[in-house]
Amino acid sequence: MSIIDLPLLPLGKGRDLGTERGVECPGDLPSASDPTLVERARVAKEALGERLFVLGHHYQRDEVIQFADVTGDSFKLARDAAGRPAAEFIVFCGVHFMAESADILTAPEQKVILPDLAAGCSMADMARLAQVEDAWDALVDAGVAQDVVPVTYMNSSADIKAFCGRNGGVVCTSSNADAALEWAFAQKPDAPGGGKVLFFPDQHLGRNTAVLKMGLSLDDCVVWDPRQPNGGLSVEQLRDARMILWRGHCSVHGRFSADVIDELRAKDPDISILVHPECTHDVVLKADLVGSTEFIIKTIEAAPAGSSWAIGTELNLVKRLSQDHPDLSISFLDRNVCYCSTMNRIDLPHLVWALESLVDGVVVNQIEVDPDTERDAKVALERMLSLPGKSHRD
């Protein structure tokens, strides 16, 4: 199979791509209509006590988030995962790449569990190791690889993070992408023009950070299309670029559009537009505030009563913010309902199934990164965790 034909992996990696792994649970997956599910989750959690640590990303459903010991954005959860060394089981209510990072950052004897293995991320699947290695070879051929630092967004598989670890690169999240880029450019002080970054898989986070936080121009950015020969770029374009952005995007945040912002502002000139940096550049340019999910929450918590907001991020979070802040007017930035379908895979039946299995002494859906990948990915993750600056702290 050529890399051009690599399929997306909405159902996770493995040999059984034809089946919905995580849905075909061994044992009984409780029915979604079972009225005792909440009580069953509570009882199982109580039975596991300190042996269990449940992490929940802000995009998780309410029915799941109520059982999280800690909630957070990708950065906070990566940091918090290692914060309970006594917990035998870490149940990760989020998506696959987050559970992999938790496995890398926790002790070998701790077991990380993803309640539904089909909870992947379409953006993470847009950069595959073979494609990234191909791009790197092209940079070598163009004579620029020695000036390039690879930076991968947290939303990538462990083998991509390992690639960055092996090649002097770093991981970033939406809350520290500026610190990561600053670090990356500082690694190449003698490179002509100040060095380059190969940023994947989210072109929008890369572009928004480079242009709005690092003072680069749109002309400094080129887009590497992994489905085109040589990324669709000439050697000259690669030599001139400062930011080589991978052609990847988030299917949820890619939906928000600048014309909806215009419409909302026409109706309510006092409305504030708050968006995630995975949104397209034109949306981010029109927004009032931009930041990670943790930033979005803190901004709303600090908002004056009576103020009105339109928020461009995943709908579970926007709905929760709207429910928790009845004194504010909060609307969703898209015209249509749009959840992250893979985040939504983690539902109460899967959580109950995972917890009750643990109570019965059966570890299901364990996420285990192989030791070589783990070693190299940890280098890139730890570089991220030690980045200087305030922007990635709470």
Annotated binding site for [4Fe-4S] cluster: 121, 250, 340
Choose between 72 and 231: whose C-beta lies nearer to ligand 13P. 72
Q: How many residues does the chain have?
A: 394
How many CB atoms are closer than 10 A to CB 192?
10
Q: Which does 381 bind (CB under 5 to 8 A by kind): ligand SF4, ligand 13P, none?
A: none
Alpha-carbon dihedral sign for residues 386, 389, 392, 394: positive
Q: Which does 74 bind (CB under 5 to 8 A by kind): ligand 13P, ligand SF4, none?
A: ligand 13P
Choose between 138 and 160: whose C-beta lies nearer to ligand SF4. 160
Residues that bind ligand SF4 (CB under 6 A): 59, 95, 121-123, 155, 250-252, 314, 340, 342-343
Choose between 12 and 231: whose C-beta lies nearer to ligand 13P. 12
Determine the Cα angle at 64 with ends 171 and 252, to 5°.
50
Q: Which does 251 bind (CB under 5 to 8 A by kind): ligand SF4, ligand 13P, none?
A: ligand SF4
Q: Is 155 in the site for ligand 13P (CB under 6 A)?
A: yes
Question: Binding site membership: which residues?
Answer: 57, 74, 121, 153-155, 174, 250, 276-278, 293, 340
**Residue 108 beta carbon to ligand SF4: minimum distance, rounded to whole angstroms:** 27
Choose between 110 and 293: whose C-beta lies nearer to ligand 13P. 293
Torsion, Cα of 120, 125, 130, 135 (10° steps): -140
Q: Is 316 in the site for ligand 13P (CB under 6 A)?
A: no
**Residue 212 beta carbon to ligand SF4: minimum distance, rounded to whole angstroms:** 19
Question: Binding site membership for iminosuccinate: which residues?
Answer: 57, 74, 153-155, 174, 276-278, 293
**Residue 343 beta carbon to ligand SF4: minimum distance, rounded to whole angstroms:** 5
Beta-bridged to residue 92, according to DSSP, are 55
Choose between 68 and 238: whose C-beta lies nearer to ligand 13P. 68
- Integer Cα distance of 121 and 112 in angstroms: 18
Residues 227-256 that bind ligand 13P (CB under 6 A): 250
- Integer Cα distance of 300 and 7 in angstroms: 39
Written as six digits, the tokens of 39 are 């009580």
Q: Is 156 in the site for ligand 13P (CB under 6 A)?
A: no
Q: Is 293 in the site for ligand 13P (CB under 6 A)?
A: yes
Choose between 73 and 178: whose C-beta lies nearer to ligand SF4. 73
Total residues contacting ligand 13P (rule CB under 6 A)?
12
Q: Which does 174 bind (CB under 5 to 8 A by kind): ligand SF4, ligand 13P, none?
A: ligand 13P
- In 3D, which of 64, 72, 127, 75 has the Cα closest to residue 105? 75
Q: Is 257 in the site for ligand 13P (CB under 6 A)?
A: no
Q: Which does 342 bind (CB under 5 to 8 A by kind): ligand 13P, ligand SF4, none?
A: ligand SF4
Choose between 126 and 358: whose C-beta lies nearer to ligand SF4. 126
Chosen residue from 292, 316, 357, 373 binding ligand 13P by CB under 6 A? 292
Q: Which does 257 bind (CB under 5 to 8 A by kind): ligand SF4, ligand 13P, none?
A: none
Q: Which does 391 bind (CB under 5 to 8 A by kind): ligand SF4, ligand 13P, none?
A: none
- Integer Cα distance of 138 and 280 in angstroms: 27
Choose between 110 and 316: whose C-beta lies nearer to ligand SF4. 316
Residues near ligand 13P, by CB under 6 A: 73-75, 121, 155, 173-175, 250, 278, 292-293
